[in-house]
Structure 1
Amino acid sequence: MIPLAAPVCANVWREQLPQARAIGSGDLRWFGLKIYTARLWSEQTRFDPESSTSPFALELTYHRSISREQFVKTSLDEITRLFANRYSAATLKRWEADMQRAFTDVNAGDQLIGVYLPEVGCRFYNSRQLLAEIRDPEFAKAFFAIWFDERTKDTGLRSQLLGSRK
């Protein structure tokens, strides 16, 4: 039996985006295996990641188990690939510690939700609670660029998230 409070808790991140609607969604696959389903939530009807001055959320629903360490390593690798030497080793080390605090190990069915807060940073939630707030706007931009930068590794997923048709 599901507790009555479950639906409220599951949407705790929605307090940041009360009018948000799903813009697009798609699956990340690696060697044919479905890793997660991503869904972009925004209050804007035409979402533009390059000029977004409004909060948005990226919801990831996992289909496989992934460790916090792997999530952090992959995120840092992608930020470094996208931005080369833009960020110092000290900045990347600080961001690594922030992500270690913000992320959790996930299993199939688990969700992690990142909420982008312009000029503030971001918040990370699981389906039950706030996990961490990172008050660093530059980190937030670099982190969400993993999915929304034009140079992302998965341009098909980016297009689907942005609501574009292939």
Structure 2
Amino acid sequence: MNIALLPKRGQFRLSARLSRHCLYCGLCLLSLTGLPGVAGEWSKAQVNSAGDPLATESAVTWRQVGRGQMSLLWFELYRAGLFTPSGQYRPGDYPVRLEIDYLRDIDATDLLKATVEQWQHLGYTSSAIVRWQRALAGLWPDVQQGQSLAFDCQSADSGQFYFNGKPLGTVAEPGFADAFLAIWLSPDTSRPALRAQLLGEKTCDC
């Protein structure tokens, strides 16, 4: 694999090709409270006495199911957390929150391309992918190190995105919300180790 490092204001960022390859879901996305710098805190949500985030955007009290980190070789790409009201995840139960804290700069176009590639990997139909891609076009911003995206899944079809804790937009398309979460949570995900961390099956020192 060719890994290109592009200098940007004295730092390095991953090339678009690397971003698409490793941010398997476009994931890069996908949900989440921001970190101060690269710290391992869930800083965009309030925290209750048990150390779990409290939703600032809704009346839901979120409890962490699990959290993990996406890395490639020596590159730390993002940290992600999965939350539900009960602290347990069951497919088909809602609401569900996915939070992603970015440890690298990622362009919005790369996020979308990586998301599409992961849907293709999971075997969704071209017609469905085109509909979901159109719904996301222009919604996500470019993400910089230390910023966050979150997705509150309200049903199999719909959910609300947040950027650094502020509402970004709602997507309501048949099957969209489940397909978005599937990038991380499907048994067929391209990153099974991260899935295990998010589901609380494995711990992450992150």
The answer to whether the superposition gives a TM-score over 0.5 is: yes
Question: Are 1:56 and 2:96 an aligned pair?
Answer: yes
* Corresponding position of 1:21: 63
Runs of 5+ in structure 2 lacking a partner?
1-43, 46-53
**CA distance 1:81–1:127, shift in 2 (3 Å):** same
Contact 2:156 2:178 in 1 (8 A): no
Contact 1:13 1:130 in 2 (8 A): no
Contact 2:65 2:200 in 1 (8 A): yes
Question: Secondary structure at 2:135's aligned position in 1?
Answer: helix
1:159 shift after superposition: 0.6
**Which residue among 105, 126, 135 is the counterpart of 1:88?**
126
Q: Deviations over 1:52-100 (max 9, x none)?
A: 32211110000000000000000000001102xx4234x3223222222
**CA distance 1:20–1:128, shift in 2 (3 Å):** closer
TM-score (norm 1): 0.83
Question: Are 1:37 and 2:79 an aligned pair?
Answer: yes
**CA distance 1:130–1:95, shift in 2 (3 Å):** same
**1:137 & 1:39 partners in 2: Cα distance?**
25
* Corresponding position of 2:21: none
Which stretch has the larger CA shift, 128-137 or 71-80? 128-137
TM-score (norm 2): 0.68
Question: Are 1:116 and 2:153 an aligned pair?
Answer: yes
* Corresponding position of 2:3: none
* Corresponding position of 1:5: none
**CA distance 1:164–1:151, shift in 2 (3 Å):** same
In percent, how many aligned pairs have the same letter?
A: 26
Off by >3 Å, runs of 4+ in structure 1:
10-17
**1:128 & 1:113 partners in 2: Cα distance?**
8
Contact 1:122 1:136 in 2 (8 A): no
* Corresponding position of 1:3: none
Please show how residues 68-83 of structure 1 align to structure 2 within 5 Å: 68-83=108-123
1:19 shift after superposition: 1.8
1:134 shift after superposition: 0.5
Runs of 5+ in structure 1 lacking a partner?
1-9
1:107 shift after superposition: 0.6
Question: Are 1:67 and 2:107 an aligned pair?
Answer: yes
